[in-house]
């Protein structure tokens, strides 16, 4: 039987004005923004009126994306769309966990605010950067990284696309090595070496935060960035360790496909995950939340 999954995007697709049209059209989305403003005043105005540089700051990006994504998910669920499983890329995993019932929306938002602050603090300790390497295999990227001890492969997105994190000072030489090997390194719109050892302090501090939180077992399968499989136990451990561990996204999608998921709705401001899923398996039906709502309106 065909099954549908919600997949929640991570940092990089944010843009000024994201979610505004959704909130103006759907009261359930507006309610999420109101809730977020109660906990973190100014979140809505930051989403809708903040400039690109402001939204690049991790302490701002993560709460704003969480608000937009949870608002969009609330619209879909109010329309009767129930996912058979959920997954989220990096910070998107916290939205997915909220939708799966691991914690309530208020707790999820408080946690993502703390996560963003901790990761920004860790990022500010070093001059770091991230880049998407395309046209090379995972093994080729790993071999190149072995020559640069502070550059790490961190996001295994899809065949021919691996994201790396590391010291900004080493990125030009690494990028040149990528070009020499026949690939291309594309800088990402983030500030920090996420999912690498540079984030270990943030992961440890976030683990302490999770210890104070009442975590429930997911009500639907929630796939982990680290294991690429549904959570069973150690929810706090996996949610904290993913901050400084690679995201196994390609394996996650392949495992979801093997479990009968055939349609993926990307919930976020862009189409990054939609494009990645179609590269993993061209037969999968992947579309963004904007496309889904447009299709429904036409129907």
Task: Please identify every residue annotated as catalytic.
Answer: 90, 195
Cα(150)–Cα(148) distance, integer angstroms = 6
In degrees, to the nearest 5, what angle opens at C-alpha 22 toward C-alphas 19 and 26?
A: 140
Give the strands of the sheet with 184-187, arranged side by side: 151-158, 161-167, 128-134, 184-187
Cα(131)–Cα(110) distance, integer angstroms = 29
Q: Which of these, 9, 43, 35, 64, lies nearest to 289 by C-alpha position?
A: 9
Distances (CA, A) of 190 to 112, 119, 120: 16, 11, 10
Q: Report the 10 Å Cβ neighbour count for 26.
A: 19
Alpha helix (H) ranges present in the chain? 20-25, 27-39, 43-49, 52-56, 58-78, 92-99, 105-123, 138-145, 171-180, 200-211, 235-241, 249-258, 272-280, 289-298
Cα(117)–Cα(122) distance, integer angstroms = 9
Say whether 248 sits in a helix, a strand or coil. Answer: coil
- Are 49 and 116 in contact by the 8 Å Cβ rule? The answer is no
Buried b (16+ CB within 10 A) or exposed e, 178-194: beebebebeebebbbbb
């Amino acid at each position: 039987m065909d099954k549908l999954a919600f997949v929640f995007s991570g940092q990089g697709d944010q843009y000024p004005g994201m979610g505004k049209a959704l909130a103006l059209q759907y009261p359930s989305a507006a309610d999420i923004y109101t809730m977020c403003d109660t906990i973190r005043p100014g979140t809505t105005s930051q989403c809708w009126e903040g400039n690109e540089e402001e939204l690049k700051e991790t302490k701002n990006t993560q709460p704003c994306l969480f608000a937009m994504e949870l608002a969009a998910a609330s619209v879909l669920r109010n329309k009767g769309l129930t996912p058979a499983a959920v997954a989220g890329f990096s910070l998107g995993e916290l939205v997915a966990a909220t939708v799966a019932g691991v914690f309530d929306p208020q707790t999820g938002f408080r946690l993502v605010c703390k996560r963003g602050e901790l990761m920004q603090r860790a990022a500010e300790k070093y001059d770091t950067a991230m880049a998407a390497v395309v046209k090379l295999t995972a093994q080729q990227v790993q071999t190149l990284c072995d020559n640069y001890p502070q550059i790490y492969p961190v996001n295994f997105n899809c065949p021919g696309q691996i994201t790396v994190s590391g010291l900004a000072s080493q990125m030009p030489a690494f990028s040149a090595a990528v070009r020499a090997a026949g690939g291309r390194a594309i800088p990402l719109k983030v500030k920090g070496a996420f999912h690498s050892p540079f984030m270990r302090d943030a992961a440890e501090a976030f683990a302490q935060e999770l210890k104070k939180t009442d975590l429930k077992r997911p009500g639907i399968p929630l796939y982990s960035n680290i294991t690429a499989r549904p959570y069973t136990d150690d929810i706090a451990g996996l949610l904290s360790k993913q901050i400084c561990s690679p995201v196994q996204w390609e394996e996650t999608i392949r495992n979801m496909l093997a479990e009968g998921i055939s349609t993926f709705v990307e919930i976020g401001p862009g189409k990054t995950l939609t494009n990645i899923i179609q590269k993993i398996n061209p037969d999968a039906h992947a579309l963004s939340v904007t496309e889904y709502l447009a299709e429904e309106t036409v129907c």
